[in-house]
């Protein structure tokens, strides 16, 4: 059995600061900011004191709505030290979504930056909490959000009704070390420390409750799969509000004494510049990020020879992209990880010494101390190797549940403790898994089950295709038809017929895309996941397709 950690997140940081006090912990080259683990731990202690002075108590929910700023990482550990629960807010949210999360999570405090992309967070917060402008910090009385008492601004010059982040640390000066130690005392690693809202394609987002034990161990095992040591330096351009940033990024580093080198908001050249300047040994990203980096016109200017490993995850990883990352970015030990928020998040990961075939064709095998099985969708019976079914997982990584949603929790986690992912997969005899699609993403055309991933992988081999998404659209005769949205490589032209000709005779006729659309970009969540349901909705609207009321068999 692999090692199991028994730390709270605060205790974990303190242990790492004791073991590697002078190692770089958090580095922002563009800001000229560089903290060692000793300095970073002391900073988090000072912030934790400020949170206590602000009136944040054990078990309180503290929301953060921000890009990858340094304060985000500080809050991740400062809240953990006093047993407050950090609620992560999606950076793409608008007013209705912000209101929903603050309300559903019972958050008492909101930390926020000025804004992101086309959303002014300050104005949006005033729209949701009109009482804020005239309110007194710490005594906010919101009719819609009765739990919310404080709003803290990250940046210079706090807007009306908000506290400045810098004031929090100053407030903590009147809190003694003994008071902080008393707040830390008795912390339980199995208590909830992090709450993330799933960007589900249907229904309201659900607050996934993750414990210290869940995410500390997941971060540790992720780092182990990349063979992290205190000498590694990880560039983190994926968002902190998502597990990819705060677990696969932050906690994979802190469990190993490695350096965190975040990029505040994704920009392909900024990533290349950061890796080169800081001699990063590892880089994370979703496939679209790696594609943008590889295709950047200034790619050749940056020295990426320090890169060794990292993780490509978040959506299916195209074989061709993986090969380019290994060949052109020097990341010969790049890994693939698969999971979901409900599993802290990683379930399976490839290993650095896996042969290239496994690293491009599978999502790896179970992490240490994790169980994985494939079950029949109809009967729930475990299936033998080579048979397709739903992937289920069990172990330390399974969430505590959805906040205030007992029925949804019971649907996700069965009475034997297995988390049902809703993902279709095939496992080989060595435990390596191949994700074949989501149960709800499966296209059923005239009674034939079609898995988009298979068609996507095939079309990635077309010399003109840069990126592709395949999904089902309604059809009155067959129930559904196959549609492909394609991003072409720079400077090439292609026709719908050319794509279909490429498929003919090479994949079954019923799998050939019936509709082909050329696009410049895909609709995405802020964490980089492509939203196929939005592509489907757009197609229905643009082509006046009607949902089939009756499915005729072909």
Please say if the pLDDT value at position 506 is more than 50. yes
CA distances from 496 to 300, 420, 490, 536 (A): 33, 38, 17, 18
What's the confidence (pLDDT) of residue 202? 46
What's the confidence (pLDDT) of residue 553? 26
Taking only the tens place, the pLDDT of each residue in 45-66 is 999 999 999 999 999 999 999 9
Per-residue pLDDT, averaged over 509-530, amounts to: 90
What's the confidence (pLDDT) of residue 205? 84
SS (H, E, C) 404-421: CCHHHHHHHECCCCCEEE
Rounded to 5°, the CA angle 464-468-472 comes to 135
What's the confidence (pLDDT) of residue 1? 61
What's the confidence (pLDDT) of residue 136? 73
HSE-CB for 201 with a 13 A CA cutoff? 16
Q: Please, what is the average pLDDT of the chain?
A: 93
Per-residue pLDDT, averaged over 422-448, amounts to: 87
Rounded to 5°, the CA angle 407-413-419 comes to 145
HSE-CB for 413 with a 13 A CA cutoff? 16
What's the confidence (pLDDT) of residue 481? 94
Per-residue pLDDT, averaged over 133-140, amounts to: 81
CATH superfamily of 9-197: ANL, N-terminal domain (3.40.50.12780)
Q: Domain boundaries in the chain?
A: 9-197, 444-542
pLDDT band at 554 (very low <50, low <70, confident <90, very high): very low
Please say if the pLDDT value at position 549 is more than 60. no
Cite the beta strand spans of 85-124 per DSSP E: 85-88, 107-112, 115-116, 119-120
**What would the CATH number be for the domain defined by 444-542?**
3.30.300.30
What's the confidence (pLDDT) of residue 548? 40
What's the confidence (pLDDT) of residue 33? 98
Taking only the tens place, the pLDDT of each residue in 442-492 is 888 877 778 788 899 889 999 999 999 999 999 888 889 999 999 999 999
Q: What's the length of the chain?
A: 554
CA dist., res. 34 & res. 26, Å (int): 6
What's the confidence (pLDDT) of residue 550? 31
Per-residue pLDDT, averaged over 240-251, amounts to: 97
Taking only the tens place, the pLDDT of each residue in 266-287 is 999 999 999 999 999 999 998 8
Structural element, H or E, at residue 73: helix 70-81
């Amino acid at each position: 059995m692999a090692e199991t950690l028994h730390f709270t997140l605060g205790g974990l940081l303190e242990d790492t600061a004791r073991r590697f006090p002078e190692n770089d912990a958090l580095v922002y080259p563009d800001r000229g900011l560089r903290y060692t683990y000793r300095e970073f731990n002391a900073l988090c202690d000072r912030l934790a004191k400020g949170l206590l002075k602000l009136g944040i108590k054990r078990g309180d929910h503290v929301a953060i709505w921000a890009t990858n700023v340094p304060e985000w990482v500080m809050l991740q550990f400062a809240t953990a030290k006093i047993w407050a629960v950090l609620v992560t807010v999606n950076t793409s949210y608008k007013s209705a979504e912000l209101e929903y999360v603050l309300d559903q999570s019972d958050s008492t405090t909101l930390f926020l930056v000025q804004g992101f992309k086309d959303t002014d967070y300050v104005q949006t917060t005033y729209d949701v909490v009109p009482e804020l402008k005239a309110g007194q910090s710490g005594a906010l009385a919101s009719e819609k959000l009765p739990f919310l008492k404080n709003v803290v601004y990250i940046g210079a010059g706090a807007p009306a009704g908000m506290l400045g982040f810098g004031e929090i640390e100053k407030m903590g000066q009147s809190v003694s070390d003994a008071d902080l130690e008393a707040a830390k005392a008795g912390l339980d690693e199995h208590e909830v420390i992090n709450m993330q809202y799933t960007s589900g394609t249907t229904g309201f987002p659900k607050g996934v409750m993750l414990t210290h034990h869940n995410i500390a161990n997941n971060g540790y095992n992720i780092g182990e799969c990349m063979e992290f040591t205190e000498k590694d330096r990880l560039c983190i351009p994926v968002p902190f509000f998502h597990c990819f940033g705060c677990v696969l990024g932050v906690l994979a580093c802190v469990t190993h004494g490695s350096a965190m080198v975040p990029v505040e908001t994704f920009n392909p050249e900024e990533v290349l510049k950061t890796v080169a300047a800081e001699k990063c040994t590892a880089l994370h990203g979703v496939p679209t990020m790696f594609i943008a980096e590889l295709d950047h016109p200034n790619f050749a200017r940056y020295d990426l020879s320090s890169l060794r490993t990292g993780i490509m995850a978040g959506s299916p990883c195209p074989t061709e992209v993986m090969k380019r990352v290994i060949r052109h970015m020097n990341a010969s030990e790049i890994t693939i990880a698969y999971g979901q928020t409900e599993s802290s998040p990683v379930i399976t990961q490839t290993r650095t010494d896996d042969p290239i075939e496994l690293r491009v064709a599978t999502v790896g095998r179970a992490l240490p101390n994790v169980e994985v099985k494939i079950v029949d969708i109809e009967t729930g019976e475990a299936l033998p190797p080579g048979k397709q079914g739903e992937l289920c997982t069990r172990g330390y990584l399974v969430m505590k549940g959805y906040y205030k949603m007992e029925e949804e929790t019971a649907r996700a986690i069965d009475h034997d403790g297995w988390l049902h992912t809703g993902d279709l997969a095939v496992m080989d005899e060595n435990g390596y898994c191949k994700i074949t699609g989501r149960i709800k993403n499966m296209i059923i055309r005239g009674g034939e089950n079609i898995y988009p991933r298979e068609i996507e992988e095939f079309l990635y081999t077309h010399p003109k295709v840069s990126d592709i998404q395949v999904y089902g659209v309604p059809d009155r005769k067959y129930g559904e038809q196959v549609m492909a949205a394609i991003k072409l490589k720079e400077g090439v032209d292609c026709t719908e017929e050319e794509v279909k000709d490429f498929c003919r005779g090479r994949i079954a006729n019923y799998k050939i895309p019936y509709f082909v659309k050329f696009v410049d970009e895909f609709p995405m969540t802020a964490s980089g996941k492509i939203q196929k349901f939005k592509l489907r909705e757009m197609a229905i609207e643009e082509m006046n397709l009607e949902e089939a009321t009756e499915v005729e068999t072909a």
